[in-house]
Chains A and B, each alone.
Chain A
Amino acid sequence: MNFIGKGIPKIDGISIATGKPVYTEDLVMANALVVKILRSPHAFAKITSIDTAQAENLPGVACILTHRDVPKIRFTLAGQSYPEPSPYDRYILDEMVRYVGDEVAIIAAVDEKTAVKAMHLIKVEYEVFEPVLDFEKAEGHPSVVHPEDDLHCNFDIGLNKDKNIASSKYVEIGDVEEELKKCDVVVEETYYTQAQAHAMMETYRAFSYLDHSGRLVVVSSTQIPFHVRRQLARALQIPASRIRVVKPRIGGGFGGKQTGAVEVFAAIVTLKTGQPAKIIYDRKETFTCTTSRHAMRLKVRLGADLDGTIRALDIQGLSDTGAYGEHAPTVFSVVGEKTLPLYNKTKAVRFLGNAVYTNKMPAGALRGYGATQGTFALECTVNKLAQKLGMDPAEIRLKNLIRQGETSLPYQGKLLGSSTLDKCIETGKNLIGWQEKYPSQEVGSNKVRAVGMAVTMQGSGIAGIDTASAEIRLHDEGNYTLLIGSTDMGTGSDTILAQMAAEVLETSLENIIVNAADTDVSPYDPGSYASSTTYVTGMAVVRAAEDLKKQILEHGAKFLEISPAEVEFDGKTLQTLDGNKAIGLRELAPLLVLGTGKQQLVGTATYGSDVSPPPFIAGFAEVEVDKETGKVDLLDYVAVVDCGTVINSNLARIQVEGGIVQGIGMALYEDVRYDQKGNLLTNSFMQYKIPCRKDIGTVRVAFEESFEPTGPFGAKSIGEVVINTPAPAIAHAVFNAVGVQVTTLPITPEKVFMGMGMEKAK
């Protein structure tokens, strides 16, 4: 292998690091109108009157749009393949406003100051309703968040709008209640996970203009160019063929940019005025008016034999999708899908519950996509089982977990293609020093150190749905362009896909131009989400490269006047097996493209997988807890990863480190608070604390490679699975330190301190 497994620098690394103008805002034309949004101050209200006359008369204002000016067609902003499972429950602007920050009017003006001034001149009157703020009281609440008649679902997701239920799920394999009755021990607990913010450093932004043929061009910091094109076509009621979506470099996404946040507002201004328009959200808008992780309540019941064999698993969930249902049914389903298969000695498993509408900011996709919430609940419960049985938590997992070549109830007979999770656990135990440190030791002055652990799985792409295409063109100079529609958001996927192509074509990385993503040019790709790019797009790239290589051999053979079977190609030269005749690619390529061959070669492939092979992680945390204050310091975190074959060792490591730290944030710091009226209080980095350099201790990463038979070069995914273990592993370590089981994230000093007080009282 020349490229696979190597720590190759990112192809865009030097440019982005040294500040080159490559992001959306850097590319905006100078005369673009500035777009601002007037937002609802109420959590739930109906606009009874809206007067824009004064604002419109302000010099420099190009247009003001209200609910009277937009197509009355409902759509979803969730970036999902058609037909989207998310309900079509929003207009561009609606008469009803459903959370504090919901859009009331769109203002476009020559500059920021004018736009803001105009915004203040708009007079709105509201009829205010009692909002639904507590998601546990949403079902059957007298206020109905979506009373409208034209709400549409592409298929049955269990929506019951009169009861504020956005979607509903029930899966059971075997008879859970029956099996639980037979179990020697049953442990039960209810957990709450918070509406984590993505907090990518580049906030949401896009700009739009009409091109030379009058088509709408939208340049956006998005993970989903093709889905955005489809959303815009529906929302604006123009043919998709009249829309082009371009993705430049992205300053982080984490799933946030898998939901169309801003594109439609710039686009409608451009359509109405004919002028270029840009919209850039500030940090507060990003915190309060986009999407977050779905907050959930998860009740787990787990039944086991006395020897620790897990026999029955029941997870009953409630998910807060906020004001709109973006990703509501799918995030919720993933809670069960990525937890129930993990322990496969079960005789019955069940996952059920609802996602409910509330009058808060909508939830959406965030790295982990339900698996994070599910892992916290399940793994805390498994740790509780170990505690109850007096068993080592690592042993109890090794005893129960699914192994390579085995099946699991939810897999319905399908076999797990690859896993080294058992090795990940062993390696992790050694690295953290489990033997010596478990469960805890006093270290003096009221401090105690302890370790904890958790394991997790995710998927690689969405089985049977994600389908990506790739094209590779041979140019007249013997170099290539790799065309893909996936969206490198900093992950380095453009680089690793080029590595795969270079490996097959036996060429150098410099010889491959990567072009992504532009809906006019790129082959279709759903975009980079659901841990799909390495696995799904990667396989398309490998096959396109193989296709092209075959064509090069065939055409080379023609020029050498011999059968393709008797020619070999080493990336530079085509040569007959007997070595008598040869032609260099540098000679062949121009002949094909501009000479007698008359055929430019293009390798193409489309790939989708009917399985979604899970990557695995074993995570281990060591904490120090101050018994006087409840303060938790994370000292050390060890993550051992099975992502199949590692395609790029450096980029994979950073993905893990970054994901672990985002998980640490969710575990310890990232608190989400609303006031009584539905205002989000944690709307800046002052209130919403993401980890800084001092907050994380040491994060150590190791790989235990497996080989996934269905993946490119044996690879699976890595992008999402990395965020799942910190919350349960840290919670476990805190329990081992001071005997307090924190079941509501984040694990703040107050909760630990209060918990210690309750322990003492007992």
Chain B
Amino acid sequence: MQIEAIINNKKVAWEIENDELLADTLRAKGLLSIRQGCDTSCCGLCTVWIEGKPTLSCTTLSFRINGKNVTTIEGIQEEAAAFAQVLVAEGADQCGFCSPGFIMTVLAMKNELKNPAEEEIIHYLTGNLCRCTGYMGQLRAVKKYLGVE
């Protein structure tokens, strides 16, 4: 089937299979920041924005983005780099495989929550797994980036 969508501010018309998942479609179209760590909606690695809302692309059927705005980290490189710099300065990027999905969630949180408390931050990010860093460094980076205590 054919769908039309706005991907990273560009209009596209894509031919897709009915049962195709968004993560696969995006990767096939060259958006290689999309990573997958599971097939049970548990890890958050595949997070993109649909209409600005963080969404798991691994369990979203591609036809659902018809007529919608989709953002991947490729589309917000400047914003992503601004946070990445804080993350990297903290040493909290290890293998980095979880980072794009994590950063998409952090940036969405920044848009959504004003001055979140530590528990709110942890709660918002809890669907993003990371096996390398132990989360503490990520939390320090997020707090620095948001300028919250």
Chain A residues packing against B (C-beta within 8 Å): 7, 9-10, 12-14, 16-21, 23, 25-26, 198-203, 249-254, 282-284, 489-492, 648, 650-651, 653-654, 656-662, 684-686, 690-694, 696, 698-699
Contacts and interface: CB of A to CB of B under 8 A. Distances in A.
Main secondary structure of the interface of B (DSSP, over half): loop
Interface string B59-75: 00000000000001110
B80 A19 contact: yes
A684 B125 CA distance: 20
Given A202-B35, A685-B38, A654 B137 contact: yes
A692 B139 CA distance: 13
B122 interface: yes
B134 interface: yes
A13 B131 CA distance: 17
B126 A692 contact: yes
Interface string B73-85: 1100100110011
A252 B89 CA distance: 20
26 contacts: A7-B91, A9-B88, A9-B91, A13-B96, A19-B73, A198-B131, A199-B131, A200-B95, A200-B132, A201-B35, A201-B45, A201-B95, A250-B95, A283-B37, A283-B40, A489-B95, A490-B94, A491-B94, A653-B91, A654-B132, A654-B133, A658-B131, A658-B133, A685-B42, A690-B129, A693-B135
B54 interface: no
What are the 3 tightest A-B residue pairs by CB atom distance, in nearest-first order? A19-B33, A490-B95, A16-B96
A661 B73 contact: no
Contacts of A698: 136
Nearest to A23: B97
B32 A19 contact: yes
Contacts of B80: 17-19
B87 to A, nearest CB: 6
Contact of A202 (B37, B39, B100, B133): B37
Given A14-B85, A661-B134, A696-B134, A201 B97 contact: yes
Interface string B97-123: 111100100000000000000000011
A361 B52 CA distance: 43
A198 B95 CA distance: 14
Contact of B90 (A648, A650, A690, A692): A650
Most buried by A among B77, B92, B126: B92
A21 B40 CA distance: 24
Contacts of B123: 694
Contacts of B103: 17-19
Contact of A684 (B39, B85, B130): B39
A25 B87 CA distance: 24
A490 B126 contact: no
Given A13-B88, A202-B35, A657-B137, A686 B40 contact: yes
B94 A252 contact: yes
B35 to A, nearest CB: 7
Contact of A17 (B74, B87, B129, B134): B87
B56 interface: no
B22 interface: no
B94 to A, nearest CB: 4
B43 interface: yes
A654 B135 contact: no
Contacts of A20: 33
Contact of A282 (B39, B74, B100): B39
Given A14-B88, A18-B103, A251 B35 contact: yes
Contact of A658 (B35, B37, B84, B134): B134
A696 B128 CA distance: 14
Main secondary structure of the interface of A (DSSP, over half): loop
Nearest to A284: B39
B8 to A, nearest CB: 12
Interface of B: 32-33, 35, 37-40, 42-43, 45, 72-74, 77, 80-81, 84-85, 87-100, 103, 122-123, 125-137, 139
Nearest to B42: A685
Given A654-B133, A657-B134, A694-B126, 8 more contacts: A10-B88, A13-B84, A21-B32, A203-B37, A490-B132, A492-B94, A657-B135, A694-B122
Contacts of B38: 283, 684-685
Given A684-B40, A693-B125, A699-B134, A10 B87 contact: no
A12 B94 CA distance: 10
Contacts of A282: 39
Contacts of A252: 94-95, 97, 131-132
A692 B99 CA distance: 15
A112 to B, nearest CB: 9
A59 B89 CA distance: 52
Contacts of A19: 32-33, 72-74, 80, 99-100, 103
Contacts of A284: 39
A702 B123 CA distance: 27
A463 B84 CA distance: 39
Contacts of A490: 94-97, 132
A12 B97 CA distance: 12
A10 B85 CA distance: 11
Contacts of B92: 654
Contacts of B35: 23, 201-202, 251
Nearest to A686: B40
Contacts of B129: 201, 685, 690, 692
Contacts of B42: 684-686
Contacts of A692: 126-127, 129
Contacts of B137: 650, 653-654, 657
Contacts of B98: 201
A586 B91 CA distance: 32
A253 B95 CA distance: 9
B32 A249 contact: no
Contacts of A659: 134
A703 to B, nearest CB: 14
Contacts of B33: 18-21
A284 B42 CA distance: 13
A17 B135 contact: no
B116 to A, nearest CB: 13
A10 B96 CA distance: 11
A9 B39 contact: no
Contact of B32 (A10, A17, A26, A491): A26
Contact of B95 (A25, A26, A251): A251
A677 to B, nearest CB: 22
